[in-house]
Amino acid sequence: LALAVLATAAGGRVKVCVRGHWREPVNIYTAIALPPGNRKSAVFDLMVQPLLDAEKALIELSGPVRAEAETLARLAKSAAEKAAGKAASAEPEHRDTLTAEAVQLAQDADKMRVPAEPQLVADDVTPENVGTLLDEQGGRISCLSAEGELFDIIAGRYTGKPNMGMFLKGHAGDMLRVNRQGRSAQHVDSPAVTIGLAVQPEVLDALSRIDGADGRGLLARFLYSKPLSLVGYRSLTPALLDEQVAATYAKHLAGLTLALADWTDPALIQLTPEADAVLLAFQKVTESRLGPDGSFAPIVKWASKRDGAVARIAGLLHLAAHPEDGWHKPIEASTMAAATELGVYFTAHALDVFNVMSADPAHESAVTVLAQLVSSNPAQFTKRE
């Protein structure tokens, strides 16, 4: 979840220059699966709140600019309408000149854009809404939620059929055409969508059943995490959250968000030669396991994106370590090594998630029975039990 929060702050504003023309944006898709009772919502709210505070600050800071733009747009529209009326009632000898002036004023008014109110995080959005938000918000938007409703929407809750194209392009950064009612089509050159979801395990199973989700690569774009549920084993008097740590987290996250908010061209972060060597070694391991007999064969689509995901994670970890000036510094080998460790973690969880997604119904029942046996460790049990 912390990675998705960082990606919300930096998505669409930073790219990692890996090697040659290989550049990775830092927006990511994450899905954390935990059973009910693990207090996902409480942790989620705590992690996301600094983003919402930064969003409020951006709205306040942009207020005067938006007010000026709205006023100028109204004046331009009014001037165009008056010019059109004047041309319509003009004497024949003046009509052509006045018509040309009216057309020019109308064209000028049509080109004027009033900036939308800044928004970093969206919830319960349709794919069409995401396109509009990307157009309005400088090519980026984040979908963060402690529920799995986004998957229902992708599956076709409102349209009756799956609609995932926006999310496929939003992860890869492929050019997006946005058609909006009453306006000409807009093009978002490098869309950056971030997704961070904390859901129940059954939601991931439902995701796998969305028509085309696997074949078109949606499943392969997510970084999955299925932490061990601690329900029933938690301390009733856990250590309290360190207020200084919480304050530092909020300060740095909000500061990073505000520092990058107005960037139009993404910052390009380089790798040190040592960091590149760490990533290259990781790539060699990935490649060696992608073959038909390799350990990544069951998740070849996901694993084919593993190296790029690690580069994105390295960019996020780098910005977390240098929230005030990370875009001016190269990524170090230690940061890349930490990113590869996370890559190994996400690989293990992807193998588990895809194994469950592809299993027959009896598999889940068998896993449940095995877990119960391991937990209770009975000396014997009856057939009925």
Structure tokens given for 73: 């747009």
Q: What is the pLDDT of residue 206?
A: 79
Nearest alpha-carbon partner for 133 in 55, 74, 191: 191
> Quick one: average pLDDT of 141-161?
83
Top-level class of domain 2-62+116-367: alpha beta
Query: Where residue 366 falls among pLDDT bands split at 50, 70, 90?
Result: low
Dump pLDDT digits (tens) for 263-315.
989 999 999 999 999 999 999 999 999 999 999 999 999 999 999 999 999 99
Inter-CA distances, 294 with 285, 287, 300, Å: 11, 9, 9
Can you name the residues that pair with 195 across neighbouring β-strands?
A: 29, 143
Please report, for the chain, the start and end positions of each structural domain, with discontinuous segments joined by +. 2-62+116-367
Higher pLDDT, 376 or 31: 31
Residue 9 pLDDT: 97
Kindly report the backbone phi and psi dihedral angles of residue 185, in degrees, each rounded to the nearest multiple of 5, phi listed first: -60, 140
Contact 319, 312 (CB under 8 A): no
pLDDT value at residue 367:
66
Higher pLDDT pick, 371 / 207: 207
* Residue located via tokens 């790219």: 15
What beta strand segments (E) does the chain contain? 14-19, 22-25, 29-33, 121-122, 140-145, 176-178, 186-188, 192-199, 222-225, 267-269
Average pLDDT for 154-159: 77
Q: Any residues with CB less than 8 A from the CB of 278 and at least 6 apart, and which?
A: 333, 336, 337, 340
Record the pTM. Answer: 0.86
CA-based nearest residue to 190, from 139, 141, 143: 139
Tokens of 384: 């009925």
- Find, among 117, 163, 125, 129, the residue nearest to 144 by Cα: 125
Q: 38-42, 137-141, 212-216, 279-283 — which is least confidently predicted?
A: 38-42
Q: What is the mean pLDDT of the chain?
A: 89
pLDDT at 253: 96
Number of residues in the chain: 385
pLDDT score at 239: 86
* SS3 of residue 18 by DSSP: strand
